[in-house]
């Protein structure tokens, strides 16, 4: 068994317990373990974090936290929040350096009736608002059962907004084929390893297999006219991406690196200072529970810090 599956599965399972959720959700956003990954709960917090990153020469993609909405009103509120955020970025002159990331389950996809159409409509509205201020939206990828719908909505939104970003997860068996489908000119594709607990029927469970799949997908994207967005903190994959870029005669800026807020910040700066386009994913909002547990499951070393915060509630 590999390090990845050893603690990740029990942790992700534990996170679905309502008791654990109640205990963790009482943590203030200021608790060190939360603040390490989420700059704050409000739009002002998000905009301030963005300004600091942009000042440092980094690009940003902002995620208003929330997922698995089953209420139309909530989906509408989330969509409106995105529209407001885009305006706030434009007002601060940051829309060229900052885009947004959208989870379709936060804007209606999980609704039992008409979820697909509602999510499509809302994604379309966010894409239009992003275009209006000169930036873009990327559609985050969620659990494997949602991949077909997410890619179908992406195809629809791209008809009018071809700049809309896609996300592929290398842990899924299907992804190399999806990468080929998306490897066309101008196609913005974020490649990540994948953060959900997926069964072996659909996903590689061994770390080395996930990494090998990542490299295969990266080769496809780098060799094409697509715009690869290399979303990983893995130093080996960063090096592989750079060598593939030079092998294909790609200049810096014809692809970009992406990392999460709070993870390997020194490396983020180093890459930006070396001339690479480096984008930081900045999540904000009150609904940080799901996001936080995925981050902790990726790095069980964080667990002791996490448990200490739970006990001391600071
Ligand atoms: C910009 C961005 C967008 C993403 N969007 C999605 C998405 O839409 N859908 C999806 O399923 N997943 C998404 N992810 C998450 C991704 O799938 C992985 O779960 C996550 O990035 C960890 O994988 P890794 O490539 O960094 O490699 P890993 O092998 O997990 O980590 C490599 C190294 O990075 C550091 N590191 C990694 N995670 C942490 C952590 N939590 N805390 C501290 N250090 C850490 C450690 O040094 C570790 O050794 C995204 C990731 C990024 C960077």
Residue 105 lies in a domain: yes
The answer to the question of residue 14 being in a domain is no
Give the containing element (helix H, strand E) for 60: strand 59-64
> Is 61 among the domain residues?
yes
Helix/strand/coil for 7: helix
Q: Is 146 in the pocket of ligand 1 (CB under 6 A)?
A: no
Question: Who contacts 187 (Cβ-Cβ below 8 Å, separation ≥6)?
Answer: 162, 166, 224, 225, 226, 227
Of 266, 289, 278, give the one whose Cα is nearest residue 41: 289
What's the rounded mean pLDDT across residues 185-208? 97
Domain annotation covers residue 313:
no
Tell me the CA–centroid distance for residue 232 and ligand 1, in Å. 5
Give the domain extent around 43.
39-287
In a domain, 141, yes or no: yes
In the chain, how many domains are there? 1
pLDDT value for 314: 44
Identify whether 30 is part of a domain: no
Neighbours of 13 (CB within 10 A): 12
H or E segment and range at residue 231: strand 227-231
Q: What pLDDT digit, counting tens, does each position of 96-140 carry?
A: 999 999 999 999 999 999 999 999 999 999 999 999 999 999 999
Distance 132 CA to ligand 1 centre (A): 31
Calpha distance 119→148 (Å, rounded):
13
Residue 296 lies in a domain: no
Query: Over the stretch 28-78, which tens digit does the pLDDT of each residue have?
Result: 766 777 888 999 999 999 999 999 999 999 999 999 998 889 899 999 999
Q: Is 195 touching ligand 1 by the criterion CB < 6 Å?
A: yes
Q: How far separated are the first and last CA of the chain, in Å rounded?
A: 35
Is residue 131 domain-resident? yes
- CB 210, CB 170: distance < 8 Å: yes
Does the beta carbon of 234 lie inside 6 Å of ligand 1? yes
Please indicate whether residue 62, judged by its CB atom, sits closer than 6 Å to ligand 1: no
Alpha-carbon gap, residue 17 to 32, rounded angstroms = 22
236 burial level (CB within 10 Å; 0-12, 13-18, 19+): exposed
Query: Which residue's C-alpha comes closest to atom 43 of ligand 1?
Result: 263
CA–CA separation, 4 and 66 (whole Å): 25
Which atom of ligand 1 has the smallest separation from the CA of 279?
1
Instruction: Quote the ligand 1 centre to 110 CA distance (angstroms).
Output: 24
Here the CATH number for the domain that contains residue 163 is: 3.20.20.220
Question: H or E segment at 46?
Answer: helix 43-55
């Amino acid at each position: 068994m590999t390090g990845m599956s050893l603690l990740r599965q029990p942790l992700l399972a534990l996170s679905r317990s309502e008791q654990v959720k109640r205990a963790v959700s009482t943590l203030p956003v200021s608790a060190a373990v939360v603040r390490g990954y989420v700059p704050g709960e409000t739009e002002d917090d998000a905009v301030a974090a963005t300004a600091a990153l942009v000042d440092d020469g980094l690009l940003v993609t902002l995620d208003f936290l929330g997922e698995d909405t089953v209420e139309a009103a909530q989906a509408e509120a989330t969509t409106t929040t995105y529209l407001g955020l885009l305006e706030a970025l434009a007002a601060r002159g940051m829309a060229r350096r900052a885009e947004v990331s959208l989870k379709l389950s936060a804007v209606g996809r999980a609704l039992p009736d008409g979820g697909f159409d509602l999510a499509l409509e809302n994604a379309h509205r966010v894409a239009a608002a992003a275009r209006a201020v000169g930036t873009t939206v990327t559609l985050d990828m969620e659990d494997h059962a949602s991949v077909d719908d997410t890619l179908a909505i992406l195809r629809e939104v791209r008809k009018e907004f071809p700049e809309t970003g896609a996300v592929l997860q290398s842990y899924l068996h299907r992804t190399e084929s999806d990468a080929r489908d998306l490897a066309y000119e101008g196609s913005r594709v974020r490649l990540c390893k994948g953060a959900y607990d997926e069964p072996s029927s659909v996903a590689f469970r061994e770390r080395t297999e996930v990494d090998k799949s990542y490299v295969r997908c990266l080769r496809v994207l780098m060799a094409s006219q697509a715009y690869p967005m290399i979303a990983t903190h893995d130093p080996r994959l960063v090096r592989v991406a750079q060598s593939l870029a030079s092998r294909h005669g790609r200049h810096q800026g014809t692809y970009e690196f992406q990392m999460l807020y709070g993870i390997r910040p020194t490396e983020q700066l180093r890459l930006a200072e070396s001339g690479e386009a480096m984008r930081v994913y900045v999540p904000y909002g009150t609904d940080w529970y799901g996001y936080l547990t995925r981050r902790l499951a990726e790095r069980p070393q964080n667990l002791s810090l996490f448990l200490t915060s739970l006990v001391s509630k600071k």
